[in-house]
């Protein structure tokens, strides 16, 4: 699957005029109507020094790689609307997800339009951000504003970048992990700095745990009660640049204790960083979403729900179900369909989803979820034979490559004789054979 190539017709620039820094973020999107928007937001940063440090942290993440995929420059996603701005990105290996939530108190200006787009984080702009002082004033424009004199003075160079398909898959996967997380610890600034002072040096291997001993937070190789597992602990160093500026840190952990997230609280902004189970595992896997995609819904339902939502708008499935008289189970599947295209994010502090206005392409549901595509192919080829089928037990043979796999679903627990299930035991989602049997059981054969 190819990445999506974008041409930024202008560069992002940060120029200084009359003592004021003017930052213009060039943007590009697959949606033509979004490209035609000259500017999403125009105004002042309330805390420019802090914001610059957070943006620099995002830049470090998107330029890093902790797995076999080489690091390469990627341009963050920005969503403007509902009086706030969100910047998001992934490391090149997709194992680290970062998001800066700029609340209304962090920005003073006008939202001209709402939407989601890619922004250009080029080297000169990042260098200029690093030079911003605490007393300086910075004006931010997301997009190209025709009224800005600075754009006519900037050197314009066309630069091609790519929007990785892995990022869209990652946006699908990471919000499911975040929605499954619970807060484990709340640390003040001093506790946070003490914790990071115990961070192991170098590229260490093996699992580490955040735990509390004698009232002090620390990293340890020993598993203990109420500890939080950190795979690839050296990835936490990406946060070191903002530690002196934060008010507190919230530490979250998923129910399977595989993934975790740290939220740095700055008052008017929050910087979230989520970490996959290990260096070699990214958030780009499809498995987390598959179990919610076993019902074939009319496309007009998906389009209808998509049309109700605006960029950065809070997405409340329960409320939408009640207001629009939609069955809760159907709403879960509608939500999964939107999520499978990267359209939903999750805010752990507010415990709610939010909407991104990414390109709405229903064909991505299958293209980004090959296990779902392969499961439907098994059904189309009549490769499934039910042995037992009742409300308590389902047994079926599913044709494989030169072998018959047996799927057993009993009391909601599924298992399969295939190598995938034997290797991962459901930790990376259900296999295509279990998925196909589930689809057949629910009558979803189209």
pLDDT, averaged across the chain: 79
Q: Check whether 206 has a pLDDT greater than 90.
A: no
Listed ranges 16-20, 194-198, 277-281; the one with the highest mean pLDDT: 194-198
Residue 140, SS3 per DSSP: strand
The predicted pLDDT at position 230 comes to 94
The predicted pLDDT at position 362 comes to 58
What CA–CA distance (Å, rounded) separates 176 from 353?
10
Residue 184 burial (CB < 10 Å; 0-12/13-18/19+)? middle
Q: Check whether 350 has a pLDDT greater than 70.
A: yes
What CA–CA distance (Å, rounded) separates 102 from 74?
21
Q: Check whether 400 has a pLDDT greater than 60.
A: yes
Label residue 432 by pLDDT band (50, 70, 90). very high
With a CB cutoff of 8 Å and minimum separation 6, the contacts of 134 are 49
* Structure tokens, 435: 């998925």
Label residue 209 by pLDDT band (50, 70, 90). very high
User: Is the torsion defined by CA of 364, 290, 434, 256 positive or negative?
Assistant: positive
Average pLDDT over residues 212-222: 90
The string of pLDDT tens digits covering residues 55-94 is 999 999 988 998 777 666 567 888 888 899 999 999 988 8
Q: Check whether 360 has a pLDDT greater than 70.
A: no
Q: In the chain, pLDDT over 90 holds for what percent of residues?
A: 35
Label residue 151 by pLDDT band (50, 70, 90). very low
More confidently predicted of 114 and 5 = 114
The string of pLDDT tens digits covering residues 376-399 is 899 999 999 999 998 889 999 999
Average pLDDT over residues 331-341: 77
The predicted pLDDT at position 149 comes to 23
More confidently predicted of 124 and 198 = 198
Residue 256, SS3 per DSSP: coil
Label residue 171 by pLDDT band (50, 70, 90). confident
Indicate the helix (H) or strand (E) that contains 377: helix 370-380
Q: Nearest CA to 355 among 107, 86, 99?
A: 86
The predicted pLDDT at position 427 comes to 75
The predicted pLDDT at position 12 comes to 44
C-alpha distances out from residue 123 to 14, 63, 142, 163, 212, Å: 11, 11, 17, 18, 40
The predicted pLDDT at position 120 comes to 65
Cα 275 from chain centroid? 11
The string of pLDDT tens digits covering residues 20-43 is 445 444 444 444 444 455 677 888
Q: Check whether 155 has a pLDDT greater than 50.
A: no
Query: Which backbone phi and psi does 337 adopt, to 5 degrees?
Result: -65, -45
The predicted pLDDT at position 364 comes to 60
- Domains by residue range for the chain, with CATH: 4-165 (3.10.150), 172-275 (3.10.150), 369-446 (no CATH)
165-179 and 328-339 are packed helices; what angle lies between their axes, rounded to 10 degrees?
A: 140
More confidently predicted of 340 and 223 = 223
Q: Check whether 356 has a pLDDT greater than 60.
A: yes
Average pLDDT over residues 226-246: 95
Q: The pTM is what?
A: 0.79
């Amino acid at each position: 699957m190819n990445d999506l190539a974008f041409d930024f017709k202008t560069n992002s620039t940060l120029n200084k005029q009359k003592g004021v820094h003017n930052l213009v973020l060039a943007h590009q999107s697959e949606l033509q109507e979004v490209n035609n928007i000259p500017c999403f937001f125009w105004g002042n940063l309330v805390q420019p020094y802090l914001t610059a440090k957070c943006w620099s942290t995002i830049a470090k993440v998107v330029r890093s790689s902790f797995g076999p995929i080489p690091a390469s420059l990627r341009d963050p996603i920005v969503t403007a609307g509902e009086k706030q701005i969100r910047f998001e990105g992934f490391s090149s290996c997709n194992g680290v997800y970062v998001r800066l939530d700029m609340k209304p108190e962090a920005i003073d200006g006008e939202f001209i339009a709402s939407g989601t787009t890619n922004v250009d984080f080029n080297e000169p702009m990042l260098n200029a951000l690093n030079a911003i002082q605490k007393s300086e004033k910075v004006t931010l424009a997301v997009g190209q504003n025709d009224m800005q004199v600075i754009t006519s003075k900037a050197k314009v160079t066309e630069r091609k970048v790519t929007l990785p398909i892995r990022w869209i898959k990652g946006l699908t996967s990471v919000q499911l992990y975040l929605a499954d997380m619970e807060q484990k610890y709340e640390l003040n600034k001093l506790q946070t700095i003490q914790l990071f002072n115990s961070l192991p040096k170098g590229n260490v291997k093996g699992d580490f745990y955040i735990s509390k001993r004698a009232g002090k937070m620390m990293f340890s190789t020993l598993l203990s009660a109420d500890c939080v597992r950190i795979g690839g602990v050296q990835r936490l160093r990406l946060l070191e640049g903002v530690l002196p500026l934060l008010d507190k840190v919230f530490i979250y952990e998923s129910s399977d204790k595989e993934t975790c997230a740290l939220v740095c609280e700055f008052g008017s902004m929050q910087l979230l960083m989520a970490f996959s189970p290990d260096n070699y595992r990214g958030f780009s896997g499809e498995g987390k979403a598959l179990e919610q995609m076993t019902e074939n819904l009319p496309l007009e339902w998906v389009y209808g729900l998509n049309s109700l939502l605006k960029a950065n708008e809070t997405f409340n499935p329960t409320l939408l179900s009640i207001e629009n008289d939609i069955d809760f189970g159907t709403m879960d599947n509608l939500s999964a369909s939107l999520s499978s295209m990267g359209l939903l994010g999750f805010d752990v502090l507010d415990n709610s989803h939010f909407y991104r206005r990414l390109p709405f392409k229903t064909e991505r549901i299958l293209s980004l979820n090959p296990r779902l595509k392969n499961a439907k192919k098994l059904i189309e080829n009549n490769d499934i034979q039910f042995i037992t089928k009742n409300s308590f037990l389902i047994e079926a043979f599913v044709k494989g490559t030169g072998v018959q796999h047996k799927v057993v679903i009993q009391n909601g627990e599924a298992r399969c004789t295939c190598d995938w299930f034997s290797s991962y035991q459901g930790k990376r989602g259900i296999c295509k054979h279990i998925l196909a049997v589930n689809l057949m059981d629910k009558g979803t054969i189209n």
